[in-house]
A and B are shown apart, each in its own frame.
Chain A
């Protein structure tokens, strides 16, 4: 099986969120970056498991500048065979999708894996866009995926439940919790990653149609109102009269 895993780089979950340039840009000073957890823990690991069971190859693709190589190398250390970085700093989900789609168009991957969303922009858009560019089926929020011959059976999360679906390869899948168990790279993997190919390719031309132009922080909660633990009638009264929540 020929598998492609789209990986992105996101600020660590505990990163302080601040902005610069008149609140028009994310302030990356002192921010630790990680591989987006859904890409790393679920999409990549499930792709590796499929390769281990069926043979084939797992390629990682990232759209981003050279700073992203550390995250890409981590993916190689976890077990991907090779990697491609499309050398541009994307400003929208569509920019990412367009680059990946144009790269993947002639490669005939059986499955293109993504994470269900990035934990910074939480857009969950890129997978659907790649699928549309390439005229492929797209199954989002997949928490389980099995492949039998040329057919994939997938369980996808929906509000309050799950849907079992089937589709023929090739297809695009976005991975959610449940699809696989996180793998920690070992020393051997880290050493091997250094010599695995990381190919840098040039981007195609693209003009953004939708961009973030400014950022703000949400209004802070005023300080918490403490209620006597013996007096829950008071809490109910506050929730009804003051907060209008019940």
Chain B
């Protein structure tokens, strides 16, 4: 069976959890086995995971699991995998999921592949693909152990509804005492975090200074987008460091990435070149970013961006 750890936050599932279940369902079909989801701690709509293909949802309801300690959660997921006879265990490649993957691999004596973006292929050997070299290449991995653990890259495969709510089954698994104590959690409220954003509006040094960011925020607003920036912009404290995308910042793959006044240095591209559609606005027609773009606008951003905002507004009003 394929066991999917569906990560929740304050009892709610994130989109990444639905993506993971959908991926697990497709993997299970490919292997001709069942697929179950595993939920830890407080979880409100656990039965909904059935919609994405889980035939049942296993639930370890201990509220201690609401706080993340990779050691505790890996012990619980590992034990649930053992109890249910799972041969493939899937987690999301989120900050927490990544900390679980390696632990689960060791615990289950399993081969692991981090950040996969394809369903296992073929018969005989078990093979999956994932981007490597910051998206500049794709590697195919063969997993040779009896149990396999995978983390699914975010935004790689949209969740697909295939069924109805599934039965939720409480299971009992010992929960070890945490050794990492969570003191506080701070999240930026009201905006979609960058790794989960479908539309990202990003700006660079071409903006000249932090006081000019209003036009970027207005465009992001009308598009329902999350804002990002290049590294020098974050380094100069024009924007908060959690907005920094690229090789040394966050790697993202939204449906739409709009780059404003960013030259497109290779280290910047490394974090964004897997975006599905890239729009580049730059006054220099020779800017390297145009080579990685689907759509380009050669012009002064201070004129183009407000014009684009107005055009999006008019389009949304007409919809």
Contact = CB atoms under 8 A, between A and B. Distances in A.
Interface of A: 11, 13-14, 17, 19, 37-38, 92-94, 97, 119-129, 131-133, 135-141, 153, 156-168, 177-178, 208-218, 221, 224-227, 229-230, 232-233, 235-240, 243, 245-246
Contacts of B191: 160
Contacts of A240: 315
A140 B14 CA distance: 20
Contacts of B105: 94, 125, 129, 132, 209
In the complex, the 7 A-B pairs of residues with the closest C-beta atoms, listed nearest first: A160-B193, A128-B102, A229-B299, A210-B111, A209-B111, A161-B187, A132-B106
Contact of A162 (B186, B273, B310): B186
Contacts of B131: 122, 218
Nearest to B306: A232
B297 interface: yes
A128 B103 contact: yes
Given A124-B98, A125-B114, A132-B74, A17 B137 contact: yes
B127 A224 contact: no
B256 A140 contact: no
Nearest to A225: B295
Given A221-B291, A229-B298, 15 more contacts: A94-B106, A94-B112, A122-B131, A127-B102, A129-B102, A138-B99, A158-B187, A161-B186, A165-B182, A209-B109, A211-B144, A213-B141, A226-B295, A230-B307, A232-B311
Interface in B138-193: 138-145, 148, 179-188, 191-193
A144 B135 CA distance: 28
Given A120-B133, A210-B142, A210-B145, A128 B98 contact: yes
Interface stretch (B32-40, B42-50, B241-249): B241-249
Nearest to B249: A177
Given A165-B183, A209-B143, A133 B106 contact: yes
Interface in B46-98: 68-71, 74, 94-96, 98
Contacts of B220: none
Contacts, number: 272
Contacts of B236: none
A138 B138 contact: no
B188 A161 contact: yes
Given A122-B134, A159-B193, A217-B137, A128 B182 contact: no
A128 B70 contact: yes
A245 B307 contact: no
Contacts of B295: 224-227, 235, 238-239, 243
B237 interface: no
Given A167-B181, A236-B312, A213 B100 contact: no
A11 B136 CA distance: 12
A214 B102 contact: no
Interface residues of B, number: 99
B1 interface: no
A233 B318 CA distance: 12
Nearest to B267: A13
A162 to B, nearest CB: 5
Contacts of B98: 124-125, 128, 140
A153 B274 CA distance: 35
Contacts of B215: none
A177 B134 contact: no
Contacts of A119: 134, 247, 270
B251 A122 contact: yes
Contacts of B181: 165-167
Contacts of B299: 229
B119 interface: no
A235 to B, nearest CB: 6
Most-contacted residue by chain A among B14, B68, B114 (CB, 10 A): B114
B267 A160 contact: no
Given A132-B102, A167-B179, A243-B294, A159 B195 contact: yes
Contacts of B193: 159-161
A11 B270 CA distance: 13
A5 to B, nearest CB: 18
A165 B274 CA distance: 32
B29 interface: no
Nearest to A154: B180
Most-contacted residue by chain A among B139, B143, B255 (CB, 10 A): B139
A194 B172 CA distance: 57
Contact of B247 (A13, A17, A137, A218): A13
Interface in B185-221: 185-188, 191-196, 199
Given A229-B298, A229-B304, A224 B186 contact: no
A159 B94 contact: yes
A236 B315 CA distance: 7
